[in-house]
Every structure is written in structure tokens, then in C-alpha cells.
Amino acid sequence: MLRYDVFRAMDRQECLRLLARVPVGRVVYTRHALPAVLPVNFVLDADSSVLLRTSAGSDLVRAVDGVVVAFEADEFDAANRSGWSVVVTGPAAVVTDPAEHERLLRSGPRSWMPIREDVFIRIESAMVTGRELTDVRGTD
């Protein structure tokens, strides 16, 4: 017998708590009028915005600065068929304030890639949604 209640919607606070546990997510944006998805490492800032660190000349900076993007992160246990997914949607902007940039150089995300001319991108958490998949073994 199939169960149809295997997904549970999560509230904003639970989503943010889970999001803070994982180091990698995906930024979803438009590139040349087509959808693009890029895996990135990130951190959550004190205001719950998603922070990315990249090079000033990267295609990502040009594509996302000043536009609304989505950011998704998840964690799954394939053996138990369970996990969660969180999506943050909001405007993205390059951090231009010198004091904020200096703060983020000390406490912000550390890029896993070599960086030339550090730039931080902030994705405002205007909308945060998530759902959890509970163990579905034995439901088919």
C-alpha cells in the first residue's frame, strides 16, 4: 500500500537550522536566458541570508547581481529513503560596503576554489521553504 503523507512541510526556522548544517548548496539563476544551476559552498549570515564567495570576474557575479535567484541545499539518506530540501528565494547582490566586505573576509565563507579578487554575494532569504521526506520503506 502506498502512503501519500511522506512529505512534511517545514517552517522557516527549521529550514534555516537545517540549512546551517550543510556546507554545499546550489544557486539557481538565469544565464543567457536559460536556467543555470551551480553548486557552491556557502554560509548563513546572522540575518539568515546566504553568503557565497567568488572571484570578482566570475560569470556568477555578472549573472546574479541585482536579480532574484533561488538557492537550494539538501541532505538525504538513500538507505533510509529520507532527507530534507530547503529553498531560499530572494534578491542577490554583491557586497559593496567596505566595512561589510572586511568583516566577511574574516568571518564569511571560505571558497573551495582558488579566488582572485574576493567578492561576496548575499542572497536575501525573502522566502524560505522546505520539506522533509520521511522513511518510505515498505510503502510500495
- Closest listed residue to residue 14, CA positions, set 89, 68, 79, 84: 84
The pLDDT value given to residue 116: 81
The pLDDT value given to residue 3: 54
The pLDDT value given to residue 1: 43
In a domain, 47, yes or no: yes
In a domain, 29, yes or no: yes
pLDDT in tens, 1-59: 455 567 899 999 999 999 999 999 999 999 989 999 999 999 999 999 999 999 998 89
DSSP state of 66: T
In a domain, 1, yes or no: no
More reliable by pLDDT, 138 or 88: 88
Q: How many domains does the chain have?
A: 1
Q: Would you list the DSSP string of 5-52?
A: --EEEE-HHHHHHHHTT-SEEEEEEEETTEEEEEEEE-EE-TTS-EEE
pTM more than 0.75: yes
In a domain, 67, yes or no: yes
In a domain, 137, yes or no: no
- Closest listed residue to residue 43, CA positions, set 114, 127, 125, 102: 125
Using the predicted structure, report yes or no on whether residue 128 has a pLDDT greater than 90.
yes
Using the predicted structure, report yes or no on whether residue 111 has a pLDDT greater than 70.
yes
Q: Output the domain CATH number for residue 102.
A: 2.30.110.10
- State the residue range of the domain holding 121: 9-132
In a domain, 104, yes or no: yes
pLDDT in tens, 57-110: 889 999 999 999 999 999 999 888 889 999 999 999 999 999 999 999 898 888
